[in-house]
Amino acid sequence: MNTVAPRSDSLTDGMHMLIDALRLNDVDTIYGVVGIPITDLARLAQASGIRYIGFRHESAAGHAAAVAGFLTKKPGVLLTVSGPGFLNGMVAAANATVNCFPLVHIAGSSDRSTVDMQRGDYEELDQMAAAKPFVKASFRINRVQDIGRGVARAIRTAASGRPGGVYLDVPASVLTETMDAVAAGDTLWRVADPAPALHPAAERITDALTLLAGARQPLIVLGKGAAYAQADDTIRAFIEQTGIPFLPMSMAKGLLPDGHPSSVAAARSLALRKADVVLLVGARLNWLLAQGEAPHWSPSAQFIQVDIDPSEFDSNQPIAVPLAGDIGSVMDDLVAALDQHPVTCPQLWQIELGEKRRSNDATMAARLAEDPHPMGFYNALRSVRDVLADRLEVYVVNEGANTLDIGRNVLDMSVPRHRLDCGTWGVMGIGLGYAIAAAVESGKPVVAIEGDSAFGFSGMEVETICRYQLPIVVVVLNNGGVYRGDDTDPTGTDPAPTVLSEGAHHEQVMTAFGGTGYHVTTPAELRTALGQALDAGRPALIDCALDVAAGTESGHLTNLNPRSAVPLSPIS
Ligand code: ADP
């Protein structure tokens, strides 16, 4: 029931108010899948000038919205139907939250009075309650006059502090509820400065520089929080003025070019093992950094951590100097204080890391020079690397097991925020959603390098790529299996659990929807096909026939994969 007194002759409704509130907050793109009760909402968004990108599955749409948030620093918006569509989208909302990407997931929901009494409504689910464990916050708009507040609250919560996913539940009855149009306008507002700058105390800056100045083997670790912060110049200034070596986490690659003299990506193990003072910039000491533990790290290493979320400090190791603030402000403060508290990296440490880097580079070059036939991961990825070497504007999406692990090492990045991959959860299924958002948000070409198993999780989005005619080239490294394709069922009955269809032609998925398909069997063919596809700027898929025996089970995560203590033999 509308509680606001009429102030004009015209009425508006919840759908119009929701779109108006989103536009007022600069939302220019919505990613989603339509259905009851949000189909008209998507139509209205489009009519209002918001770009609506329709997907084939909500998880892919949600991954797209999340990575749009990462790329733009504005919450991406995901629109889903109720019940199962909401749940599919929740996978992406949870992944966004874990990865610290700002996302607002809006879903329509069924009639409250029926759902709350569990009387069995169409797609009945208490979505607000279901979302809570997976996102930063979960809100429901129960009255049409709260739509502006709900949108503002969702955007503020997603973008401020540690970014993350927010769920916004909008019952169908609120979408159609009417209200006086003038009074409705007064209930909407624009969020001012969604993520305000936050500086740490000056003493902490001094503490950090003092600790770094006394270090014999200092190291800077750049995480995807540093990439997200868009503080590229000040981060570079700090690294170049101090000469401290830096290690980019995978999605921070390109923040400074991988070829930068201070990059120790190619001497990672040595840098971690011997660093005595470590400055973590937007990187958590989670499993991706071995929780900061020996033997990967020196047991006496001291950590300085820059993070927007103070509760991150001490989550794994004692943080000697917590620098709570946004990375742009903190790094500005650090650079500004260098005059008074100079830091110079000891040359011996630079030389030691430089030598290790050169020897590891030589090992990699030798590996890339091998040319097995059928192709393996290294010689296939070498071709991708060669083609991308002078196409720095191309976004790289990368998922799979071996495809990811080897791709991360082989493919150099030179431009910030141009590498998008499985991230904190190591999740599969982000590939085509991330690729679509990168193309939509940037208008630039994208190469999505996918393991054949990983591709399957979002493969139907090839149709989305073709429908919107996006400049995306999907490269499927096809070894016919999860990890690899040469396992057998001991009973001889079925394909083994890790086996997929050998000799599959994934390019036919692309040609089915009007894109260009290539099937290649040699690195030279791959190089030619990728060059041609990128020049054409149209949807394309290159299926690369790899040796079914290429690859390692679980890629670089073999140690995380429990293996049966006794031999796996047929059980009768
Ligand atoms: P990676 O996986 O690359 O190591 P993580 O996702 O583990 O990176 O860490 C990112 C960290 O960055 C999170 O702890 C998050 O709170 C932090 N962060 C995100 N954005 C900012 C920002 N603008 N300023 C400061 N810290 C940020």
pLDDT per residue over 261-305, tens digit each?
A: 999 999 999 999 999 999 999 999 999 999 999 999 999 999 999
Q: How far apart, in whole angstroms, are the C-alpha atoms of residue 54 and residue 560?
A: 37
Lowest mean pLDDT across 58-62, 125-129, 566-570: 566-570
249 CA to centre of ligand 1 in angstroms? 11
**Of 9, 12, 51, 10, whose CA–CA distance to 187 is shortest?**
12
- Which structure tokens are listed for 428? 């599969």
Q: Ligand 1 in contact with 225 (CB < 6 A)?
A: yes
Closest CA to 486 of 563, 553, 397, 566: 553
- Secondary structure letter of residue 400 according to DSSP: S
Question: CA–CA separation, 421 vs 438, rounded Å?
Answer: 12
- 143 CB within 6 A, ligand 1: no
Residue with the smallest CA separation from ligand 1 atom 3 is 223
Distance 309 CA to ligand 1 centre (A): 8
Q: Report the nearest atom of ligand 1 relative to the CA of 423.
A: 2
Nearest Cα neighbor of 108 from 84, 74, 132 is 84
Query: In the structure encoding, which two tokens stand for residue 85, read together?
Result: 């569509």
The alpha carbon of 423 and the centre of ligand 1 are apart by a number of angstroms equal to: 12
Q: Is residue 1 over pLDDT 50? A: no
Question: Using an 8 Å Cβ cutoff, are 178 and 4 in contact?
Answer: no
Side-chain half-sphere exposure of 198, counting CA atoms within 13 A? 17
307 Cβ below 6 A of ligand 1: yes
Bridge partners of 31? 53, 78
At residue 57, φ and ψ (nearest 5 deg) are: -150, 140
326: phi then psi, degrees, rounded to nearest 5:
-80, 150
Task: Tell how far the Cα of 246 is from the centroid of ligand 1, in angstroms.
Answer: 16
pLDDT of residue 572: 65
Number of residues written out for the chain = 572
Q: How far is the CA of 115 from the centre of ligand 1 (A)?
A: 38
Determine what percent of the chain falls in helix, strand and coil, rounding each to the nearest 5. Answer: 45, 15, 40
Burial of 285-323, coded b for 16+ CB within 10 Å and e otherwise, reads beeebeebeeeebbeebbbbbbbbebebbeebbebbbbb
- Indicate the residue type of 79: L
Q: Classify residue 288 as left (phi > 0), alpha (psi -120 to 50) or beta.
A: alpha
Q: Residue 326 pLDDT more than 60?
A: yes
Nearest atom within ligand 1 for CA of residue 99: 6
Which residue bears the tokens 């393991």?
451
The residue ranking higher by pLDDT, 4 or 561, is 561
| Residue 537 near residue 516 (C-beta atoms within 8 A) | no
Confidence label for 571 from pLDDT (cuts 50, 70 and 90): confident
pLDDT in the model for residue 138: 98
467, with CB counted inside 10 A (0-12, 13-18, 19+), is: middle
Q: Is the CB of 161 under 6 A from ligand 1?
A: no
Q: What percent of the chain is modeled with pLDDT above 90?
A: 94
pLDDT at position 5 is: 59
Average pLDDT over residues 442-460: 98
Protein residue with least CA distance to atom 16, ligand 1: 162
**How many Å apart are CA 425 and CA 92, to the nearest integer?**
11
Distance CA 153, CA 162 (A): 15
User: Ligand 1 mean position to 189 CA, how many Å?
Assistant: 29
Cβ of 297 less than 6 Å from ligand 1: no
Peptide bond into 374 cis (omega under 30): yes
Q: Residues near 527 by Cβ (< 8 Å), separated by ≥ 6? A: 383, 386, 387
CA 67 to ligand 1 centroid distance, Å: 14
Structure tokens belonging to residue 219: 């190291």
Check pocket membership of 288 for ligand 1, CB cut-off 6 A: yes
Report, as an integer, the average pLDDT of 141-162: 98
Name which of 269, 275, 243 is nearest 256 in CA terms.
243
Residue-level pLDDT at 180: 97
Cβ of 332 closer than 6 Å to ligand 1, yes or no, is: no
| Ligand 1 centroid – CA 417 distance (Å) | 13
Predicted confidence band at 2 (pLDDT cuts at 50, 70, 90)?
A: very low
**Span 136-154, average pLDDT:** 98
pLDDT of residue 416: 98
| CA-wise closest residue to 264 among 278, 89, 188, 227 | 278
Which residue has a Cα nearest atom 5 of ligand 1? 283
pLDDT reported for residue 265: 96
Are 227 and 255 in contact by the 8 Å Cβ rule? The answer is yes
Q: Which amino acid is at 545?
A: A
495, amino acid identity: P
Which residue in the block uniquely carries the two structure tokens 């499927």? 476
Sign of the alpha-carbon torsion through 493, 494, 497, 499: positive
Distance (angstroms) between ligand 1 centre and the Cα of 559 equals 26
Ligand 1 atom closest to Cα of 312?
14
Q: Whole-angstrom Cα distance, residue 107 to residue 90?
A: 10
Calculate the alpha carbon distances from 285 to 209, 281, 358, 489 in Å: 21, 11, 27, 39
> Does residue 92 have a pLDDT over 50?
yes
Identity of the residue numbered 471: P
Q: Is 251 in the pocket of ligand 1 (CB under 6 A)?
A: yes
Q: Is the CB of 309 under 6 A from ligand 1?
A: yes
Side-chain half-sphere of 27: how many Cα atoms within 13 Å? Answer: 33
- Given a contact cutoff of 8 angstroms between Cβ atoms, the answer to whether 158 and 131 are in contact is no
Instruction: In whole angstroms, give the CA distance from residue 131 to residue 129.
Output: 5
Which atom in ligand 1 lies closest to the alpha carbon of residue 221? Answer: 4
By the 8 A CB rule, do 175 and 19 touch?
A: no
pLDDT tier, 567 (very low <50, low <70, confident <90, very high otherwise): confident
Residue nearest to atom 18 of ligand 1 (CA): 225
Q: Is the CB of 100 under 6 A from ligand 1?
A: yes
What are the CA-CA distances from residue 258 to residues 143, 156, 265, 408, 560 (Å)? 52, 34, 7, 11, 28
Do 453 and 522 touch, CB atoms closer than 8 A? no
**Mean pLDDT across the chain:** 96
The answer, yes or no, to whether any atom of ligand 1 lies below 6 A from the CB of 73, is: no
Cα–Cα dist 334/159, whole Å: 24
Share of the chain above pLDDT 70, in %: 99
Q: How confident is the model at residue 6 (pLDDT cuts 50, 70, 90)?
A: low
Alpha-carbon span 63 to 437, nearest angstrom: 8
pLDDT reported for residue 560: 83
The phi, psi pair for 431, rounded to 5°, reads -55, -65
Q: How do 302-307 and 319-324 pair as beta strands? A: parallel
The answer to whether the CB of 424 is under 6 A from ligand 1 is yes
Q: Is the CB of 198 under 6 A from ligand 1?
A: no
Token representation of residue 357: 């880097």
Substitution candidate for ligand 1 out of 101, 198, 220, 284 with most atoms within 8 A of CB = 284
401 Cα to the center of ligand 1, angstroms: 23
